[in-house]
Amino acid sequence: MLPDHIANQIAAGEVIQRPASAVKELLENAVDAGATRIQLIVNDAGKALVQVIDNGSGMSATDARRAFERHATSKIQKIEDLFHIRTMGFRGEALASIAAVAQVELRTRRAEDELGTCIELEHSQVTKQEPVAAPVGTSICMKNLFFNVPARRNFLKSNTSELRHIVDEFIRVALAFPDRFFSLTHNGQGLFHLEAGSLKQRIVQVLGNNYSSKLVAVREDTDYLNVQGFVGKPETAKKTRGDQYFFVNNRFIRSAYLNHAVLNAFQDLISPDAFPSYVLFIELDPAQLDVNVHPTKQEIKFEDEKIVYAFVQAAIKHALAQFSITPTLDFELDASIQGLSAVQGPFTEQQQSAARASSLYQGFTGAHQAHRIEASPSAGNGSFRSLTDIAFEGSPVLPLPDAATQSALELRPDALGHGGASPSDVVIPRHSEGTGDGRAPSAEVFGEGGFTSLQQAYAVQESMEVQQLFSTYILVAAERSFLLVHQQSAHERVLYERLMAAMHGKPVATQRSLFPSTLELAPPDAVLLTELLPDLARMGYSIEPFGPSSFIIQGTPADVESGNEKAVLERILEQTKHFSEVKLPRRETLLRSVALQQSIKPGTQLTDREMQRLVDDLFRCRQPNATPGGKPTYVEFAKDGLDKMFGR
């Protein structure tokens, strides 16, 4: 049998993975204790101190000591209780796991006791226990996390990253219980001060004042389950996934399945790459779900997922329709308008004559009038000629430029950037496929012939011919081969190497904005952006904090078209979080994200000069044949290979 202290450390590996894990467990314990005021105090992103102070029921001296034993819980008496759980914690492992990897001090007192109890623990052993004067409730301090497991402490991220996880856990508990006071203090600075109130007030407190008039109430009560909460109006949809919260019986859960139900409800109301905001609570019989399928209890299993999916989707659709958010045609007048005499009374002949005599009527019906509308002889009854047909009658009609053409006209030739390598550094790329893991594609010759050096073949501008295909590809022809270049992939590689050079050399020039814009973010995204600000500054972005979750965009890279800075930064944050899931270094994730968002998109028309500039810059790169993510930037077609294809 394993010794207790080793068994506790093994359990701690499941329950306490980082400071935020301890924050979650301690906050939930305070909630289960019936506290109405809960304070969270952290130092050094929880590595040095995590303290939770509550005014809950407190514990006796015996229960306080027993709470640190494994599986010590008063919430489970018999096996049937596992299927009717309505409390946040129930397995009795949290305090034992925390005491195994940190130094702990507990002060607690019940209302009926004159004195409270103070207990200090280290290595799961009680080192001190004595009666003390204490307010009703509990104060628990976790100091020096992983002090006795240095290997695990070394795996913790930066303070900014760990603080972001703590804020995530704090917000989830605070949203689940809006009728209680919560506060968060980090290194002596108050980050949140949330007074008790309604759910809508709590959402506005946490997610920002811009939500105050943009929330739609959702409420559907059925015999099987109840769904209530709020969803943001379509205009609040963002490019990041920050503001989505699902709670089942007041417990935060992650569920891609239910998130898909929300996205389906917003279908055709938001763009495909946007994410709606929502805070939704599902209440159903605990016997219909299993909350014990994951150590953190953030993943649960429903007995019937399909019926829950259908109820959630229907509830949101009904709410959006009820508040006239979904696109509808209303053929009924308002009741107050219907009562007016102008609506109820007949349109007499005298009134018709007066209307025909008016200058407004004559302007559209009289001969030789600028606004005259005539019936088209080839059209059916009630049809009219197009105003544009009348305006350009007798004149050649020139097609107006579409959005992509207009964007290309405004694109400066220097917007494509430069690579940082000399021509001698160019590798010899071939037709290839990306690996998808960031490695260069493998070399594969298309045909037996071809050039021994693509750089030599395509470096002579006078003999090079370029042609754009489908506003997406660039066809580059030489004497005995041609390349099919994907313009976005090529530009992504060029920007990536240029930004990489800026990290180690001269920063990218910044163009100051004449009218700075304000960027509002969810608190976790605000913490992430704060962490990225130094690197973004070297990439040409001038961004200054403006409050807890707001930022002022003072400037952008000089060679990037301005006007959509907010959307670009939101996408960069979303891409950074996505790349973080594949365990890439933080700076690498940022470089890839910025290069992807600043690259020219398919559908953008380029001039001959811009295409030649892009190809030239591509072959100056150290690795021109692949994007940072491993996708090919071009495919080479050699004449010999083409001849073989056609049997010549």
List, for residues 477-498, the tens digit of each pLDDT value: 877 888 899 999 999 999 999 9
What is the C-alpha separation between 256 and 241, in angstroms, rounded?
12
- The winner for highest mean pLDDT among 14-28, 71-85, 430-444 is 14-28
* Per-residue pLDDT at 115: 93
Helices (H), 91-250: 94-101, 150-154, 159-176, 199-207
The residue ranking higher by pLDDT, 433 or 572, is: 572
What is the C-alpha separation between 461 and 457, in angstroms, rounded?
10
547-559 pLDDT per residue, tens = 777 899 999 888 7
Give the residues across from 230 on adjacent strands. Answer: 217, 279
Confidence at 239, pLDDT banded by 50, 70, 90: confident
* Per-residue pLDDT at 459: 53
Exposed / middle / buried, residue 54 (Cβ in 10 Å: 0-12, 13-18, 19+): buried
User: Between the CA atoms of 45, 573, 193 and 245, what dihedral angle is there, to the nearest 10 degrees?
Assistant: -110
User: By the 8 A CB rule, do 275 and 240 touch?
Assistant: yes
Please give the average per-residue pLDDT across 339-355, as a whole number: 63
3-state secondary structure 496-530: HHHHHHHHHCCCCCEEEEEEEEEEECCHHHHHHHH
Instruction: Give the neighbor-by-neighbor strand order of the sheet with 215-221.
Output: 215-221, 225-232, 278-284, 244-248, 251-253
* Per-residue pLDDT at 97: 85
Taking each helix axis from N to C terminus, what angle separates 159-176 and 19-32, rounded to the nearest 10 degrees?
20
Residue 636 reports pLDDT greater than 70: yes
Residue 355 reports pLDDT greater than 90: no
- The winner for highest mean pLDDT among 27-36, 63-72, 76-85, 548-557 is 27-36
* Per-residue pLDDT at 243: 83
Confidence at 388, pLDDT banded by 50, 70, 90: very low
For residue 275, how many other CB atoms are within 10 A of its CB?
A: 21
For residue 225, how many other CB atoms are within 10 A of its CB?
A: 21
Which of 88, 98, 124, 82 has the alpha carbon at shortest distance from 14?
A: 98
- 510-520 and 278-284: which strand pairing? unpaired
Confidence at 199, pLDDT banded by 50, 70, 90: very high
* Per-residue pLDDT at 137: 95
Please give the average per-residue pLDDT across 277-292, as a whole number: 83
Distances (CA, A) of 40 to 169, 185, 325, 403, 647: 11, 6, 39, 51, 76
Confidence at 200, pLDDT banded by 50, 70, 90: very high
Task: Give the DSSP H or E segment for 553.
Answer: strand 550-557
CA 500, distance to chain mean position in Å, is 24
What is the C-alpha separation between 553 and 540, in angstroms, rounded?
11
On the CB side of 183, how many CA atoms lie within 13 Å of its CA? 14
Please state whether the predicted TM-score (pTM) of the whole model is above 0.75: no
514-560 pLDDT per residue, tens = 888 888 887 778 888 888 898 899 888 999 988 777 899 999 888 77
What is the C-alpha separation between 56 and 310, in angstroms, rounded?
38
Taking each helix axis from N to C terminus, what angle separates 523-538 and 159-176, rounded to the nearest 10 degrees?
160
Identify the residue whose tokens are 């009658």: 393
Which of 326, 213, 217 has the alpha carbon at shortest distance from 281?
A: 217
Burial 564-578 (b: 16+ CB within 10 A, else e): ebbebbbbbbbbbbe
What is the C-alpha separation between 270 and 326, in angstroms, rounded?
11
Residue 77 reports pLDDT greater than 60: no
25-50 pLDDT per residue, tens = 899 989 988 999 999 999 999 999 99
* Per-residue pLDDT at 131: 94
* Per-residue pLDDT at 148: 84
Taking each helix axis from N to C terminus, what angle separates 256-265 and 305-322, rounded to the nearest 10 degrees?
30
Amino acid at 229: G
On the CB side of 283, how many CA atoms lie within 13 Å of its CA? 12
Instruction: Tell me how long the chain is.
Output: 648
Share of the chain above pLDDT 90, in %: 28
Please give the average per-residue pLDDT across 569-580, as a whole number: 75
Q: Which long-range contacts (CB under 8 A, 24 or more apart) does 420-425 make?
A: 420/497, 420/498, 420/500, 420/501, 420/505, 420/620, 420/621, 420/622, 421/497, 421/620, 421/621, 421/622, 422/620, 423/455, 423/459, 423/619, 423/620, 425/620, 425/622
Confidence at 391, pLDDT banded by 50, 70, 90: very low
What is the C-alpha separation between 250 and 300, in angstroms, rounded?
13
Backbone conformation region of residue 128, classed left if phi is above 0, alpha if psi is from -120 to 50, else beta? beta
* Per-residue pLDDT at 429: 41
User: By the 8 A CB rule, do 201 and 178 touch?
Assistant: yes
Computed over every residue of the chain, the mean pLDDT equals: 76
Helices (H), 220-304: 256-265
The residue ranking higher by pLDDT, 354 or 413, is: 354
Residues with Cβ within 8 Å of 17's Cβ and at least 6 positions away in sequence, in order, are none
Confidence at 399, pLDDT banded by 50, 70, 90: very low
User: By the 8 A CB rule, do 57 and 51 touch?
Assistant: no
* Per-residue pLDDT at 435: 40
* Per-residue pLDDT at 365: 61
Share of the chain above pLDDT 70, in %: 70
Residue 175 reports pLDDT greater than 50: yes
Residue-range domains of the chain with CATH: 4-194 (3.30.565.10), 199-322 (3.30.230.10), 407-648 (3.30.1370.100)
Burial 428-438 (b: 16+ CB within 10 A, else e): ebbbbebeeeb
Please give the average per-residue pLDDT across 416-423, as a whole number: 38
